[in-house]
Every structure is written in C-alpha cells, then in structure tokens.
A and B are shown apart, each in its own frame.
Chain A
Amino acid sequence: MSKTKKLLRKFFTALKPSLIAIGFGLLIGLIIMLIFNPGDAFQALFTLLIGGFNGGLKGIGNMLYQAAPIILTGLAVAFAFKTGLFNIGASGQMMMGAYVAIYVGVRWELPFGIHWIVAMLIGTLAGGLWGLIPGLLKAISNVNEVISSIMMNYIAGHWLIYLIRTNIFNGSYSRSMNILPSAQLPMLTSIFPGSSANIGILIAIAVAIIAHIIVHKTTLGFQLRASGFSMDGSKYAGMNTKSNIITAMTISGLFAGLAGALAYLVVGKTIGTAFEIFPQGFDGISVALLGLGEPLGALFAGIFLSNLRMGGFYMQSYGFVPQIIDMIIAVIIYVTAISIALQAALKIYGDRIRAWFKRRKLKEEV
C-alpha cells in the first residue's frame, strides 16, 4: 500500500511541471475565449479539454490516428535531447521517411501483410539516414546540429517535390500517387468504428516503450545520457562521445522517419508538390518539451496535444473560428515550452520569500 502511495507521489512530482504548464496555458486560453465569446467560453473550454472524446469512439479513433506521428517526432526530439542534442530537423527526417514509404507503397508489388511492413521499415531507414547526416557533421567537424538539421529540412522540402514529380507523380491532382491497398497500415475500425484509426498508434506506443528501455536500461542509454549531461565527463569516462552523437542523431532520425511512414501509409493520403515543411516535426519539439524530454512523457504529451487539436475541431460549434482555436492551442504549447523557465522562477522566488520570512522570524526573536 505504502509502496503504491510512494510511487504515486513520485509520479506526481515528475508530472508537476507539465501539469502546471498545462494549467497556465488553459487559463490564458480561457481568457482569450472570454474575450471573443464570453457566453460560451467555459463550455468551449470543456469541449477543448475533452477533445476527441466529444466524438465518441470515432473521435477517439481519429485522435489516436493523429497522435501517432507526433508521438514519434516527439520521441525523435526527446531522444536527441537525452544526448544533449537539439534535433530540430525531425520534419525533414519525417518527410524523407514519408516519401520513401509512399514510393515503396506505390512502386513495389508485395503481398498483403508484408507490403506495409516493408514500406514502413524502409521509410524509417530513410529518416535515420537523414538524421545521420547532421550527426556526422557534428561529430566530425563540430557543425552545430541545430543549424545543419534545420537546413536539412529545407533540402528535404525541395528535394521531395523533385522526387515526387519524377518518380510517383499523379499529374491530375499535382500530388504524389496513391499507395497500393496492400501497403496500407491495418485499420483498427473494429475497435473505433468509422474512424481513421490504424495500427500506427500501437506502433507508436511500442516504440515509446522501446525508447524508454534504451534510454534507461541499456549501456547505450547510459552512454548517451552521460554525453547529454556532460561531454567532458563522458570523455573522461572513456566513452566515445563522437559515436554517441552519431548514434543518437540516427536513432532520432529513425523515429521521425517512422512518423512519416505511419502518417502516409494510408490509402488516399498523398503529398502535394507545393513547398511545405511538415509541421509535425515542430510539434515534436512541443511534445518533447511537454513530456519533459522523457520517451514515456512524449507518449502522453503526444496524445494530449492530438486531443487538444481534436477539441479545437469540436470547438467550432461554439462559433470560434479555426484561427482563434489555433491561437489558443499555440498559447498552451508556448506556455508549456517555457514551463521549465517558469518553474525555475517560481522556485527562486519561493526560496526568497521563505528566506524573508525566516529573517523576520529571527528579528522577532531578538
């Protein structure tokens, strides 16, 4: 009994920063809603919070479908964080993963049950390769990974258009071609009828657990975390800090590549040929921050963010235009992102106030 209590308390302590951040974000969101539509603000907030659950099983299914890619980009960012790297290039890695997965889904003819797996795995590898490049640059010539990986996003964005146009172009829609039915991820419509839910969410959950195990239970994770906390310390300890960087960026890229594969191995989902950088990569940063840089944290944060988006969708019934909804969600994410700074500030002022009380008490005693 006391053990579960202790565990619960530990869980709560770990969660506290995220919960405070979410609370702050919702409060500011509520103020914005009160400005635009005071009458329905509280009900709208409730709708926003309930998110996908507004639409019953179908809503939940759609929410989980959208959650899978951002959980994975969140994992990509969080995993690099653990090694002290900021992988801002999850978008580019995801795009490469998506393209290669679609290519395999369109051009290769493989039996049902195997085709989607092959397409998914090769797409994942493409993402890993795209993450390897900034990793190599950083390890070999100390190129800042933030700059190189964001540049890789632009390279991916433009190259993607070229690749689609030359290899898998559907001229009538000016988009990529549709994948073969055999390459589609198995659907979960029997559990969530009428929704787009597919096996992607289960894969995302499994990968989050695997990432957690790698980070916290293996010798590889031990090295990566050591490098993340202190390059000098891990160098002293005889770890190969350069190969740590390369490994971490590659694994991070693999996760993002998988995100791309899961998002696009769906019949009817295609990539357009107008220049765009996938926003899910940047969502990954929010998800990783909200999840406190932990793989399991990213899992819950990804679901939370996806649910918030679904909530925004349902909020439209209260007369909020989508732009306002986007703004509210952005504020919540923004506040969350600065939550760590907020926490630190609260702690400092808390200490000061406590010290002040202590001094007063001492003075009274005199």
Chain B
Amino acid sequence: MSWNRKHLLDIESLTVEEIWTVLDTARAFKAVGARAIKKVPALRGKTVVNLFVEPSTRTRISFELAEQRLSADIINFTTEASSLKKGETLKDTARNLEALNADFIVIRHSASGAPHFLARVLNASVINAGDGAHEHPTQALLDTFTILEAKGKIAGLKVTILGDVLYSRVARSDIWALTKLGAQVTLCGPTTLVPRVFEQMGCRVTHNVEEAIADADIINLLRIQHERQRKTMFPSLAEYTSLFGLNQARLARTKPDALIMHPGPINRGVEIDSEIADCPRSLVLRQVTNGLAVRMAVLFLVNGGKGPQEIAGN
C-alpha cells in the first residue's frame, strides 16, 4: 500500500506499486456500488471542480457520479458556458475556481500538459481527465482493472491495441499501465496512425490486423478520432473498416477466450461490428461500471496525498 501523491497527472510517472494501490482500492469502491446505499462520506465537505475545457460525456458523468458517491460538492465547468470563451486564460480560470476553495480540479483539456501546468500553479489536487493526445490516466486504470477482473492477472497477457494509436491518449496511458504491470502490448492500425516509434515504449508494432489479434488475450479497440485527424491519415472510413475493423470473420480467428474492450464512444460499423460490441466477449459496459469505482479510488487516494509535488512527464 503506497500512495503519497497529491495529483494524478499521468500513468508514466506512477510506480508499479502505486498502480496496484489504485486497483486494490478500486475493488473496495466497486463493492460500495453494489450496496443499497451507494454513498460514503469520504469527501464530505470537499469541493470538486470538473473543468472540462474539451467536450466529454462519459468521462465527465463518471467523474461526477464518483464525486457524488464520495459526498463531495461539485461545480461543473464546461467550455460552452465559461469565461474561457471570453478570453480568460486557463490559469486565471483555475485560480478563480481555487479562490472558491476548490479542493480538487478534474481537468479535461485539448492541450497536452494542461493538468501538469495547473498542478504547478494551484494548491488544489489536480486529476487529469484527458489532456490532448498525451494521457488519460483514469481510463488506463479502469482498463487495467477490468482486464484484471476478467482474466485474474495482467502479467504475461497479450494485449492488442487496435486503431488510432497516434492520436489516442488512451493508448498512451494503456501502454504505460500495461507494460509496467508486465503485459505484452501489440499495436496495430494503419501505418500513418501506428508509427514504429511506439516500439520505443516497449510495444510490438504491426500493420497486419490478423497477425495482431491471432494470439491476443485482450483486443482493445480505439475509436477513430475524426476530430483530431487531418483527412490524409487514411483514405476513407470504409477502407479502414475493411482493413482494420473487427468483424465476425476476424473474431473467429482469435483465441476463443479473447475479450474485447473499447473506451467508447463506439463507432458501430467502423472499428467494430455492431454485434461484436454487444456479444458476451465484450467488456465495454463493465469498463463503464469499473470506471466509476476507479475514479472514486483515485479521488479517495489523492485526498490523502500530501507528498512532494510530483510534476511528471518531463
């Protein structure tokens, strides 16, 4: 058991022991979700600001519910209705929120490093809910938790991440978490979206989908992020689907106990066949349930974190 961090900014800087602490704590919080009374007073009297400068539905809702179940007070701050639209800087916005005695800031931002910046300038605890294409640590923790729950272990598992890796903060955080815990990670997708440079993160890179999924225990599909790409990354969605989409024919050639994951939102018929998304081998909805437990665990842990302010990443 070890957690002395005030912030959760990325997975890259976490130790293996810290990742296990989150996963162990999340198991206890998942049990709370199964009770008649699903709320505990752990963050009673604390204020959390959800600063979502980039649109998000599921992550924001998951964080909000996690905060409510910990009895925190919540302020939601979205770009559409904010002073950021009027030209206020991120720093000023955050300082104003802190002047209201916010104890935690959960930030989603299109710029990589925005949470690290806030952690430097604020006294509040900062939790990264996704920064640009950099990291999405709580997603990686809930993915890891879900794999552990479904497979009973992480070390030695073969995990294939298929899709838009280049623009994916989920992929980066997943790669850090899974490789730290001893899984073998394979990345697959079009050459433009899965460059060889990812081999430096300890992954196998292939552009052949059949090869990538043949011996996988977990196939983690990533959404094609229209909003982050230029049109030149691949010719068309239809071509992507035919070359890399997970369909019944491809699924039939995987290991029978291989499980399917997707961080959502799903583009049905693009990266995954609609029936596969709903089949018993799909962990998609368990990921959502577990996301709540993992976010409760993270808030619970950083609440007690006083230690040296880690400014990770660089």
Q: Real complex partners, A and B?
A: no
| B contact residues vs A (CB 8 Å cutoff) | none
